[in-house]
Amino acid sequence: MFILIITALLPVYVGLALGYFAGKRKLVDNQNVSSLNVLLMQFALPLTLFISIARTPHDVIVQNGKLALVIALGLLIVYIPLFITQRRAYKLDIGSSAVQTLTSAFPNFASIGLPLLMPFWGAEAALPVAICIAVGSVTISPLTLAFLDMHTAAESGDASASAAHRFLVALWHSVRKPIFVGPMLGLIVALAGVHVPAIVGTALTPMTAATAGVGLFLTGLMLSAQPIRIDSNVMLGTLLKNLVQPLIVWALAVLIGLAPTVKAEAILLTAIPAGFFGLVFGASSNVRPAVSGSTLVVSSVFGIVTLSLVIYFFAPMK
């Protein structure tokens, strides 16, 4: 089992370390990562998810149907109370509260999901990763964008649009992004029984092969730019993300009756450390709470321990 844990985590943390080293040594600009983010989120990852899901057998897709419900509940059960805590206990403004909450409630599915699951499930790992990204894209991501829009409106004195309208606009923007469209097209192709010629996969290989490496490097790069100041809010976010959320998903998976394989996938995916979407969304609205950067770093480091434990208890034996 020790070898299995090392095999699963070593590629993940080596990729993170290389990105962190490059950023700290100023070999790559860690303040302007938009180009790498576009490469990952608009090209490499959507194409990888599309081709992998399009080739997934119909029965495997059906088996993963309940996973979306479990992930949605797991994300929202952490997100809603934590957002209220940020507002009432830590007295953060609505924009900073949204960024910190998304950072702590949304695992880094995009960068770590595939390299973490592939040692256990191979190419079939793309489907649960895509489901998790899609669920986040239609739940807590647009919710965060709506809160940020409300923050911007409050700062400018514009209160013309309702909260519901802002959420619907944010949801519309989310479902139009390649990171959502790519896996959805793959799902349609697979469910329709359309055969994807081998030449399509071959043509996309140069892009899809880069997905895991680019995602990990980008995350490490963003980690290198974050100041580290540990306080109770950082520890709360890390605890919720790394320990409480996977335990909630485990309980939901048992309650709803997920198949053993799907249950293991759900728990491993939600044990992934904090993601960078909160920081990316916040930067677009000029909202950069220091607590979120610290949470991203501490959660990622603490993830070495928590992911090892989750793999030990829940990953399939080989």
Check residue 161 and give its pLDDT. 67
* Lowest model confidence (mean pLDDT) among 122-136, 157-171, 249-263: 157-171
Alpha-carbon distance of 206 to 200, in angstroms, equals 12
* C-alpha distances out from residue 230 to 46, 171, 261, 292, Å: 35, 33, 36, 11
- Specify burial of residue 65 (Cβ count, 10 A radius: 0-12, 13-18, 19+): exposed
* Lowest model confidence (mean pLDDT) among 48-57, 88-97, 257-266, 305-314: 48-57
Give the model's confidence band at 316: pLDDT under 50 very low, under 70 low, under 90 confident, else very high.
confident
Check residue 158 and give its pLDDT. 65
Alpha-carbon distance of 54 to 189, in angstroms, equals 5
DSSP character at residue 276: S
Give the model's confidence band at 160: pLDDT under 50 very low, under 70 low, under 90 confident, else very high.
low
pLDDT digits (tens, 9 = 90+) for 224-248: 998 889 999 999 999 999 999 999 9
Alpha-carbon distance of 264 to 120, in angstroms, equals 10
Confidence check: pLDDT of 151 > 90: no
pLDDT digits (tens, 9 = 90+) for 70-118: 999 999 999 999 999 999 999 999 999 999 999 999 999 988 999 999 9
pTM (predicted TM-score): 0.86
Check residue 317 and give its pLDDT. 72
In the beta sheet, which residues pair with residue 274? 107
Confidence check: pLDDT of 64 > 90: no
Q: Which CATH number fits domain 1-314: 1.20.1530.20, 1.10.10.10, 3.40.50.620, 3.30.1600.10?
A: 1.20.1530.20
Among 79, 83, 135, CA closest to 269: 135
* C-alpha distances out from residue 86 to 69, 115, 127, 209, Å: 26, 32, 33, 39
- Sketch the domain layout of the chain as residue ranges: 1-314
Give the model's confidence band at 159: pLDDT under 50 very low, under 70 low, under 90 confident, else very high.
low
